[in-house]
Amino acid sequence: MRIKVGMVGAGAFAQSFIPLFKAHPLVEEVVLCDLDADKLRRASERHGIARTCPSLDELCGTRVDAAVLITQPWLHAAQAAQALRAGKHVYCAVPIGSTLDEVAGVVRAVEETGRIYMTGETSYYYPETIYCRQQYARGAFGHVVYGEAEYYHDWDHGLYDVARWRGGDRWREFAGQPPMMYPTHSTSMVISVTGARMTHVSGQGIADQADDGIYRADANRWGNVFSDESALFRMSDGSTSRINEFRRIGHPGTVRLSLFGTEGTFERHWTGAAWLTKDRAKCVRLDDLLECREGGFAAVHPIDRLPTEFEGLPNSHSGSHQFLVDDFVRACAEGTQPPNHVWAAARYAIPGIVAHDSAMRGGELLAVPDLGPGPDGRSQ
């Protein structure tokens, strides 16, 4: 079965995905959709795509099998639920939602419609995450005792332009989102390796000291003053995890994972990555294995599973884009669940939402609600 895909959002980020969906051998047609007529026309001409839609409302009434949502984060939950209830499968950029009700609403829409929802979490296919999943499957970690992951992205590294582009004249209203409401690059790294979920959290927030007014309580829709947030989680396998989401930091930026077990440890720093054991003779550096090179791939990436039609096409975010597109298209065409299904998406996002609530309460330990592993019992 080949599918027809509607791309919702024809902006800068979508340009990395349109060629991949168009080239996939299981995609019959790509339809472009955007509220901005000029942006829609330019994307249509650039990619040689004839059929376009001026709105998601219209796309939901057309004969496409799937909607790919590459839109503003605060729109994701409502748009995903709308498309699912219109009978479309949904691929959505992260996060799935920014409130517990939003996330639950998307999960409920999937369960009631039987449609597929997949979150486009790039960290799932970062080389270090793949390597750690392989080591975990071999039992090389022993019992995992502690994990740590972080997403460091200072505002001076392009975020002002992104915020203005997404929010227009109201950009500050959306720019001051609590960092822990965009946690999935970090949380997914730990969760997708061990399969354990986050059950309890104590969060801390750092009040912003900058003078641009983004994190002022009366300037953003969340009343948020935290530019940086940290959280310590209790995991369902008995381990703990620390997550950092920092937007004001003297750092070049990173998405990074380290995972510590009773028998082995994967540790990542700015200077490189290593596999470590109690026997120091077995400690090895992994830079050659994990470094992304030609085509955006690292040696650890399973590139043999990708369509040959993808060769030479965009593959950003540490080699993840091609795998994410292939996962989604195959799931829709074959009627199977992708790895980053809706229940995994919920487990990536909900812990951060609760962590911010904890930070607002001075670090109070809070339970993290769970919407289940999905019909096949998988956590990721």
Tens digits of residue pLDDT in 326-344: 999 999 999 999 999 999 9
Supply the CATH number for residue 224's domain: 3.30.360.10
Per-residue exposure over 339-364, b if at least 16 CB sit within 10 Å of its own CB, e if not: bbbbbbbbbbbbbbbbbbbbbbeebe
At 306 the pLDDT is: 98
Q: Which pLDDT belongs to residue 92?
A: 98
Same domain for 114 and 127?
no
Domain final residue, candidates 122, 138, 164: 122
Sign of the Cα pseudo-torsion (352, 354, 360, 366, in order): negative
Q: Which of 122, 148, 178 is the last residue of a domain?
A: 122
The pLDDT value recorded for residue 378 is: 57
In a domain? residue 183: yes
Cβ pair 203, 358 in contact under 8 A: yes
* Residue 310 belongs to some domain of the structure: no
Q: Both 146 and 81 in a single domain?
A: no
Q: Is 275 helix (H, G, I), strand (E, B) or coil?
A: strand
Burial classification of residue 56, based on how many CB atoms lie within 10 Å of its CB (0-12 exposed, 13-18 middle, 19 or more buried)? buried
Q: What tokens does 223 get?
A: 């009343």
Residues 294, 147, single domain; the answer is yes
89 and 143, same structural domain? no
What is d(CA 223, CA 273) in angstroms, rounded to the nearest whole number? 38
**Do residues 98 and 118 share a domain?**
yes
Question: What pLDDT is attached to residue 280?
Answer: 85
- Convert the pLDDT of each residue in 17-74 to its tens digit: 999 999 999 999 999 999 999 999 999 999 999 999 999 999 999 999 999 999 999 9
- Quote the pLDDT of residue 281: 83
Same domain membership, residue 204 and residue 90: no
- 171-192 average pLDDT score: 97
Same domain for 235 and 142: yes
Residues 202 and 245 sit within 8 Å (Cβ to Cβ): no
155 and 118 belong to one structural domain: no
**96-102 contacts, C-beta under 8 A, 24 or more apart:** 96/342, 96/345, 96/346, 96/348, 96/349, 97/349, 98/73, 98/74, 98/177, 98/181, 98/349, 98/353, 99/353, 100/350, 100/353, 100/354, 100/369, 102/77, 102/78
Report yes or no on 136 lying in a domain. yes
Q: Is residue 163 part of a domain?
A: yes
Name the domain boundary from 107, 122, 137: 122
pTM: 0.97
The pLDDT assigned to 380 comes to 44
What are the structure tokens assigned to 283, written together?
Answer: 């400690």
114 and 139 in a single domain? The answer is no
Residue 94 clears pLDDT 90, i.e. is over it:
yes
Domain of residue 270 covers 123-301+341-367
Stretch 260-286: mean pLDDT: 94
Distance in angstroms (rounded) separating the CA atoms of residues 216 and 55: 33
How many structural domains comprise the chain?
Answer: 2
Residue 77 included in any domain:
yes
Q: How far apart are CA 220 and CA 203, in angstroms?
A: 20
Inter-residue contact 10 to 49 (CB < 8 Å): no
Q: Is residue 168 over pLDDT 50?
A: yes
Query: 229 and 181 in contact (C-beta within 8 Å)?
Result: no
- pLDDT band for 212, please (50, 70, 90 cuts): very high
Q: Are residues 209 and 350 in the same domain?
A: yes
pLDDT score for 379: 52
State whether 220 and 359 are in the same domain: yes
Which two tokens mark 189? 């790294």
Specify if 193 maps to a domain: yes
Residue 144 belongs to some domain of the structure: yes
CATH code for the domain in which residue 77 is found: 3.40.50.720
Is 52 part of any domain? Answer: yes
At residue 174, φ and ψ (nearest 5 deg) are -100, -25
% of the chain surpassing 70 pLDDT:
99
Q: Are strands 66-69 and 3-8 parallel, antiparallel or unpaired?
A: parallel
Can you tell me which residue has the tokens 């001076």?
A: 156
For the chain, the average pLDDT equals 97
Tell me how far apart the alpha carbons of residues 271 and 198 are, in angstroms, rounded to a whole number.
Answer: 29
Alpha-carbon Rg of the chain, whole angstroms? Answer: 20
Q: Same domain for 218 and 356?
A: yes
